[in-house]
Amino acid sequence: MRTACLAVAILGSALSSPPSLPAEVPLPPGRGSSRELVAAGRTLFTANFARPERNDLETQGNGLGPLFNAVSCGTCHSQSGPGGGGDLENNVQLIGIVTVPAPRGSVEEVLKSARTVHPKLSDNAPIKIFHKFLIGAPENIAAYDAWRDGILKDFGVDSASSVKPVRKRVKNVTMEIAQRNTPALWGMGQIDRLRNEGGDALRRRLVAEETERHPWITGRAPRTPDGKDGWYGWRGQIAGLDEMILGACSNEVGLQTPGFPEPESPAALTKPVSKKSRKGIETDLTADQCLALAAFVHSLPQPVRDPSNFSESDAGERVYDRIGCSHCHAKDLGWVSGIYSDMSLHDMGNEDEDMQVTTPELKVQEFQQLGLAQAMSNSGGGYGGSPTLSFSLQSVRVAFIEPAEYEQEWKTPPLWGVSDSAPYWHDGRAETLKEAILLHGGEADRARAAYQQLDQEDQQSLLGFLQSLKAPSEGQLTAAR
């Protein structure tokens, strides 16, 4: 099995961006079989870290939290089994500084205003995850809850609010609360293998060919804030799958992993949060546990078409191609068949802008002259974040390569398994597939308009095709274990 071998680099690495190795790399001696490693990873993925004694997880570190959104990976990635997407209630909230247009003032002046809302914002982390929970002393929990509830009330956000971004002016700065929906992890190991086997060049070629055939399509390969090719995250801001996995452990469950420290509370706490290790080791997951967890995610099979209605769904796919959906949601990406995504960024229009911008492309010469390589690097904010505040305040738009609307760009999500991953859109604002189609704007505006002009039969045929893209079956999941 190839999938259990891809995370070997985590075992001996303390880098902030653990590399992935090709599938042929063997497991280290004494690590057990691939099947055993995946099974151990599945146990970790579904484990309740609030009760570590029930899962033999009291090995090191200080465990869950102190800030967290869920007590396990499987809490959010639960649709159709461990590794699926998440419901609206599992959305992640982000809070931070709006940088397009750039706020006036120096970095210090902007941060001074922004920190009256969130004191942990920094040049390297102008956006933070707005965690749902804190664990610890009762008085600390009460302090955090009061702080968080006060901000939500001040921004006018409540349980009945839309998931769309909410903005508020704070002195010389505009602040925003935005949301992200939990994506399914099906087939991610296949995508990461492609990434390691020349996927960067292949993806660029696919986008260039589509732009040549259809000039209104101006997609581009995502970049991480430090200039690498990005593949993961709604903005394509994360380079590799292993980096995303370990970052999620830290961001969502508060589990410190190599290179990804646990988040610190922004609230004024009455008692310091204890970071005392159970066994004198700082990280909350051992290297072997990181390896197993990554092996499980890499092992998740890719979704397939429902074989019960191929003739009907084939007719719908022809409509899908005819109206232009496949320009961005390409059926195949290299040898990864049936992904229905080019894994690239596209301008989706001004209805979809928010504070977490993509990393813009710069002309190399002007990039070097401006000396912005360090300014763009960003290790904070969670999931790769956005370019630093220093970069955002520079007057460098003249150096950008079009398209320049980098606050409106989103990575095309794979449609495999889409039938079993509602709600839709980066923040889950679409309850149905039809609603998601009608939300398309920007480069996808022509495809949306073409859908609206279809007769009812063709519209239903197209939706039938999308509904045939199912999550992996129980048989597939069993075979992957």
- For residue 429, is pLDDT > 80? yes
In terms of Cα–Cα distance, which of 2, 21, 1 is closest to 10? 21
Choose between 145 and 25: higher pLDDT. 145
**CA–CA gap between residue 124 and residue 168 (Å, rounded):** 22
CB 87 within 8 A of CB 276: no
**CA–CA gap between residue 481 and residue 467 (Å, rounded):** 26
- Distance of alpha carbon 396 from the chain centroid: 27
pLDDT, one tens digit per residue, over 39-86 is: 999 999 999 998 877 666 766 777 899 999 999 999 999 999 999 999
**CA–CA gap between residue 6 and residue 479 (Å, rounded):** 18
Using left for φ > 0, alpha for ψ between -120 and 50, and beta otherwise, residue 72 falls in: beta
CB neighbour class for 165 (10 Å; exposed up to 12, middle 13-18, buried from 19): middle
In terms of Cα–Cα distance, which of 100, 99, 133, 97 is closest to 115? 97
- For residue 322, is pLDDT > 80? yes
pLDDT, one tens digit per residue, over 355-378 is: 999 988 876 555 555 555 555 555
Among 187-196, 245-254, 469-478, where is mean pLDDT lowest?
Answer: 469-478
Q: Is pTM, for the whole model, over 0.85?
A: yes
Specify the 3-state DSSP secondary structure of 232: strand
To the nearest 10 degrees (0 to 180), the angle between helices 34-46 and 287-299 is: 100
Q: Are strands 67-68 and 133-134 parallel, antiparallel or unpaired?
A: antiparallel
Torsion sign across C-alpha atoms 318, 323, 325, 328 = positive
DSSP, res 385: -
Which residues partner with 336 through β-bridges?
333
pLDDT band (50, 70, 90) for residue 20:
very low
pLDDT band (50, 70, 90) for residue 344:
very high
The secondary structure of 140-169 as a DSSP string is: HHHHHHHHHHHHHHHHT--TTS-SS-EEEE
* Cβ neighbour number for residue 209 with a 10 Å cutoff: 12
Q: Which helix (H) or strand (E) holds 36?
A: helix 34-46
In 306-397, the DSSP E strands lie at 345-347
Paired tokens of 191? 């995508």
Quick one: average pLDDT of 138-149?
A: 93
Q: What is the pLDDT of residue 312?
A: 73
* Cβ neighbour number for residue 11 with a 10 Å cutoff: 17
Among 8-12, 207-211, 245-249, 399-403, where is mean pLDDT lowest?
Answer: 8-12
In our burial notation (b when 16+ CB lie closer than 10 A, e otherwise), range 397-418 reads: eebbeebbbbbbbbbbbbbbbb
CB 213 within 8 A of CB 219: no
Q: What is the pLDDT of residue 401?
A: 61
Q: What is the pLDDT of residue 283?
A: 85
**CA–CA gap between residue 124 and residue 138 (Å, rounded):** 31
**CA–CA gap between residue 256 and residue 64 (Å, rounded):** 9
CB neighbour class for 201 (10 Å; exposed up to 12, middle 13-18, buried from 19): exposed
- For residue 30, is pLDDT > 60? no
